[in-house]
Chain A
Amino acid sequence: MSTPTAATKNPAPSPRPDVTPPGRWEFPEPTTSRLDNGLAVAAYDIPGQYVLSVRVVVPLSPRDEPREHEGVASLMSRLLDEGTRTHTTDEFTELLERKGIDFGAGLSESGLTVHGEVSKRNLTDALELIREALAEPSFPEKEVTRLIRTRLAEIEQERASAPHRAMREFAATWFDSAERASRPAAGTPETVRGLTRHEVVAFHQAHVAPNAATVVIAGDLDGLDAHALAADVFGAWSPAPVAQPQLPTPSRPGDDRLRIVLVDRPGSVQSEIVVGCAGPDRHVAPAWAAYPVLSFLIGGSPNARVDAVLREDKGFTYGMRSSFRPRRAGGLFLTTGSVRTEVTAQALGLLLGILDDARDGFSAQETTDSVDFIRNTAPARFATADEVADEAAGLSLDGLPPTFTTANLDAMGELTPEALRAAYDRFVDGQWCVVIVGDASAYADSIRALGRGEVSVVPN
């Protein structure tokens, strides 16, 4: 034990203060409406949030793309703000920026999300421009060509980034090669090079319409009628017979997924590790509640099981993270992070041991601390318009009601160590798909010696 230093004169420190537990908290409830064109509207009033956040979500899936045109959905989403029937690319860009509108569009495995952030007084302009981008994009030939080139450059940048390269190899190893999920959502060089304006226009026509879409408006709505405003602006968006997104069924894993793939990068100073197995989606019965808790407990903080050993005891890593990652149907349980080259095999052995040992269960203290962290951080995690809109948009794309977030937090309060163990055991069986990006020659033999699966080496 230590002794007080000369600089201190307070040998009787105040005792550690007790914590008063917070009361129950609920995710804000939206007011909802539906326009004649089928567009669902959800408005979240969050007093004091003067930057309003808008999301429009359109359920669609990269699975809907023709095999030879993979990447078209992503390209379409990136082109939405590159010009419309009413405005050229430069005009549209200028209209957004003169009103300070932060516009973005992105594609996930479950759908298209257009997002806008804007000062309260410019909300109407933002909604107008978002409608224009979704309803009447012109997809100028020149911008199509440009964004294809940009995607090709991005593919090279992703190949150079160890975390991206590792996830790409993991998807290719884990999923059956016939599954869309085994290949990059934004397309490969082979498919992207072949895309033209024609495919982009066709994909947009077939999949983007108000009938299946939802708009979320979150922020300080005092003095605003968000529903009337949405009806005014989005009412002009014509419904269209869009193709039904394919039924949400889990992507099939490949038969030879349980092995170790080393992506070779001679001279790499670190090894990027991905370890994974199957996990649930958020519709899982009896409840999703256990999985965020398990993610935190196993690999969500410096004191979680993984980093308590690999970071705080061994100093092998800046930090590794474990998380259950739900997809629209099915999911993955992934642990990712990097360690220095010299300790790669040792780190992998320790990591697999920690993940396997978790099948023996969790203590009451771990359970309580993890549940309390997730439940009691919720008010701050969902305090801004942006965070509320994001959560609401994600729920909508996953086909979950806005009450899901609160119900899920409530369900966490009922979790026992036994329930956590059952939830973990349901997906984790001690068999893993492992990808490591790094200098394979430095550790291939010692990884083989771990005896945790067949090892193969592939080029970067």
Chain B
Amino acid sequence: MPLDYPLVEHTLANGLRVVISPDHSVPTVTVNLWANVGSRHEVAGRTGFAHLFEHLMFQGSRNVASGEHFSLLMAAGGRLNATTWFDRTNYFETVPTGALDLALWLEADRHGHLLDAVNQANLDNQRDVVKEEKRQRYDNVPYGNALRDLYATVFPDDHPYHHPTIGSMADLDAATVDDVHDFFRAHYGPDNTVLTLVGDIEPEDGIARIERYFADLPAIAHSPRPNLPQLDPLSEPARHTVISEVPNDRLYLGFRLPTERDPRYLAAALAMEALAGLSMSRMVRRLVRGDQSATSVQGHTMGFVDGVSLGLLAVDVAEGVDPNAVEEVLMEELHRFADEGPSEVELEAALAGAERGWLSDLAAQDQRADAFSHQALLHHDPDYVNRFLDELAAITPEEVTTAAKEWLDPHSRAVVAYLTGQDEVA
């Protein structure tokens, strides 16, 4: 049975798409904007720019001083942030109902009139901050760059997902104020954005307020390129080995998958749960609790829109165990699963976990708003949030088996191996 979160859609004359879902259980409203720009839109030599740009959105705009976006909303009892990912950039705050107008006004000011406030000093400052973020989250962390290496191994060189959202130090250094202006004009406009309100607001009232603050923003006459065609699985195994002072050997296996709204993606995601996502999954049972040749096995999928998604296995190899032997077992289990398909119990558990996880995600207004924005921006279908569990439950065991055969074939794996030793890259 579909969920029944209420949902009203509206489009402003300037193209801004609005989603409103009233929920009066708490006297707060979440304002959530998804701009249709992410690291997949970056050009060579400017990796990391979409994220650096996101930081500049907090440094002031026409009528807002640097830092005021944070300080005004926080003093009003708002919690806020923004994130950048391959496919999009999101900006969000949850505020007491009485601060909704302030939040909309602030968002309209920066989404419409950021460039008035951008200057070399705040670009330089936030470039430094982002470089520290890169060091803190990636460069100074064991295995911190493993996903970067995996993207580069599993996706083709010229593909939008080949490089990570954080970018490279050299490209961050190269960014200029002119780049900021060009990027804003190319990507930030009401016709390239979705605005969702979830919370203590009725649709009519919400739409009127959004009209008040956003109607004057000019469209950018955006003509986005169509998403890239579906990539096939890797035609042969690919491999990248890093010898590094990591605490233990760790293997990452990546697989190209169908894009996130392709039913084959859901089938592959269920296969991944049965293989390595669940505690009762085959790989956990065999490698972690069985012969104990691994201390942990994890499996999950990342859904994308631009021609491919990613299936991911990560295995911590136990001390004294040969990582190649562990990889062999992973291959065996992938083959066995493709032959046998999922058991009834595996599917039951994968669906039960997905249901609890999805309902848990939607339990808070802010995450519910983010889910609506996601489906509205990237798929023009916010109601998918209500239907997702039914679509997942409709996947047959045969579809799971077929997805595993076609997309989780060991021959199509990309392996990134982080092995203990003195630093070196092979």
Contacts and interface: CB of A to CB of B under 8 A. Distances in A.
Contact of B77 (A50, A96, A159, A372): A372
A95 to B, nearest CB: 9
Interface stretch (B260-268, B353-361, B405-413): B353-361
A380 B76 contact: no
A153 B316 contact: yes
Interface string B341-376: 000010011011111110110011110000000000
B138 to A, nearest CB: 10
A365 to B, nearest CB: 9
Interface string B78-115: 11000000000000001011110110110001001101
A312 B129 CA distance: 8
B393 interface: no
A402 B248 CA distance: 44
Nearest to B212: A14
Is chain B's binding surface mostly helix, strand, loop or mixed? helix
Interface residues of B, number: 87
Given A99-B352, A315-B132, A13 B77 contact: no
Contacts, number: 229
B128 interface: yes
A87 interface: no
A368 B75 CA distance: 8
A396 to B, nearest CB: 22
B148 interface: no
A5 B351 CA distance: 52
Contacts of B278: 97
Interface in A301-331: 301-303, 308, 311-318
Interface string B138-161: 011110000000000000000000
Interface string B117-145: 10000001111111111011101111000
A377 B247 contact: no
Interface string A1-27: 011110111100110111111110100
Contact of B76 (A19, A51, A99, A122): A19
Given A314-B128, A369-B71, 10 more contacts: A19-B101, A48-B23, A96-B279, A99-B352, A117-B356, A153-B248, A160-B247, A161-B142, A312-B67, A384-B364
Contacts of B280: 90, 93-94, 97
A97 B132 contact: no
A102 interface: yes
30 contacts: A2-B116, A2-B117, A5-B115, A13-B113, A14-B212, A18-B102, A19-B76, A22-B96, A48-B25, A51-B359, A96-B279, A100-B353, A100-B357, A102-B357, A119-B355, A143-B289, A153-B316, A160-B245, A270-B139, A270-B140, A312-B66, A312-B125, A315-B124, A316-B132, A318-B132, A340-B131, A373-B74, A383-B25, A383-B26, A383-B364
B23 A94 contact: no
A157 interface: yes
Contacts of A311: 129
Interface string A80-116: 0000000001100110111111100000000000000
B341 to A, nearest CB: 18
Which 9 A-B pairs rank lowest in CB-CB distance, beginning with the nearest? Answer: A376-B77, A315-B128, A20-B98, A100-B352, A17-B101, A2-B116, A156-B247, A100-B356, A97-B349
Interface string B323-355: 000000000000000000000010011011111
Nearest to B289: A89
Interface of B: 23, 25-28, 58, 62-63, 66-67, 70-71, 74-79, 94, 96-99, 101-102, 104-105, 109, 112-113, 115-117, 124-133, 135-137, 139-142, 185, 212-213, 216, 218, 245-248, 278-280, 285, 288-289, 292, 295-296, 316, 318-319, 345, 348-349, 351-357, 359-360, 363-366
Given A13-B62, A160-B142, A372-B76, A270 B136 contact: yes
Interface of A: 2-5, 7-10, 13-14, 16-23, 25, 47-51, 89-90, 93-94, 96-102, 117-119, 122, 143, 146, 149-150, 152-153, 156-157, 159-162, 268-270, 272, 301-303, 308, 311-318, 338-340, 368-369, 372-373, 375-377, 379-381, 383-386
A338 B135 contact: yes
A251 B324 CA distance: 47
Contact of B353 (A19, A97, A146, A269): A97
A350 B288 CA distance: 47
Contact of B67 (A17, A152, A159, A303): A303
B216 A9 contact: yes
B365 A383 contact: yes
Nearest to A308: B67
A96 B70 CA distance: 42
A386 B58 CA distance: 31
Contacts of A301: 70-71, 74
B140 A269 contact: yes
B105 A14 contact: yes
B197 to A, nearest CB: 14
A385 B363 CA distance: 8
A250 to B, nearest CB: 32
B142 A315 contact: no
Given A10-B216, A270-B136, A318-B136, A101 B356 contact: yes
B295 A149 contact: yes
A136 to B, nearest CB: 20
A24 to B, nearest CB: 11
B349 to A, nearest CB: 4
A118 B67 contact: no
A8 B113 contact: yes
A447 to B, nearest CB: 19
A149 B360 contact: no
B132 A303 contact: no
Nearest to B296: A150
Given A153-B248, A380-B94, A94 B345 contact: yes
Contacts of A386: 360, 363
Given A13-B109, A376-B77, A303 B71 contact: yes
Given A119-B355, A383-B26, A384-B364, A93 B279 contact: yes
A8 B218 contact: yes
Contacts of A10: 216
A19 B132 contact: no
A19 B98 CA distance: 5
Contacts of B212: 14
B419 to A, nearest CB: 14
A103 to B, nearest CB: 9
A117 B135 CA distance: 35
A415 B388 CA distance: 47
Contacts of B117: 2
A15 B425 CA distance: 57
A147 to B, nearest CB: 10
Given A17-B101, A21-B98, A315-B132, A380 B366 contact: yes
A97 B352 contact: yes
- Find the residue from B115, B142, B352, B356 having the highest chain A CB count within 10 A: B356
Contacts of A161: 141-142
- Find the residue from B67, B74, B345 having the highest chain A CB count within 10 A: B74
A17 B122 CA distance: 26
A150 B295 contact: yes
B245 to A, nearest CB: 8
